[in-house]
Structures are given as C-alpha cells and as structure tokens.
Amino acid sequence: MKTRTCPNCGYKYPLRIYYTKFIFRFVDSRWDCVKCNSLLTFNFGRRLLVILIAMLPVIAWSLFSPDWNLHLYIPGWLSYILLGVVTLSWAMFVSGFDTFSLVEKGQRP
C-alpha cells in the first residue's frame, strides 16, 4: 500500500497537506478524499508501527545520555534540547509513511 494515498482513486496527499490537516488527528478520524469523495481513515496497524518507530530517539537518548554527558561534556539542558529537536525531526519524517484505508460502507456516520 502506498503512503498517504487514497486506496480508491490513488490520489497521493502531499506532505504539506498531510502535516497541516492529518498528523494530529486521532486514529479513528475520518475524512472524505478530495478527489473521489470516498470516506477514508488511517490504517491503525501502520500508524501504531510508525508511532513506535518515532519513539526510537527517546529510547536511544535514555540509554546513551549518561555517556554523552560524561564523555562529550554536553550540559544536561543542551542534551534535552537536542533530544527535542532530533525527536521532532524524526517523528515528522517517519509519520510521512502513514497509510490510509477505506471506511466500510455501513460505518459512514
């Protein structure tokens, strides 16, 4: 399945639109495709995998932060800022691999 693509018509949502409209929606959010008007939602399994992968910088930081601070002489406050920048950048990159699914016909509100 292609990322950020309507499974019905194949319209691929650009990253700019995806980030501004869909990135902060809940897993069960629904919307109409801009091209074919099909009711779409996020692929829950894929979104869960993307969230887990997006958490990798936090896990790496918790494992290696004491070594960074000790051997590289990085102050604690700077390591927190670096963690925030790396995590946000990584999460935005990884979230671009999200996929969409069609909502079943009987589930339309």
**Does the pTM of the predicted model rise above 0.85?**
no
Report the share of the chain in percent with pLDDT over 90.
Answer: 1
Give the model's confidence band at 63: pLDDT under 50 very low, under 70 low, under 90 confident, else very high.
confident
| Domain ranges, ordered by start, for the chain | 15-107
Average pLDDT (55-62) is: 78
The residue to which tokens 């963690």 are assigned: 83
**Pairing label, strands 39-42, 100-102:** antiparallel
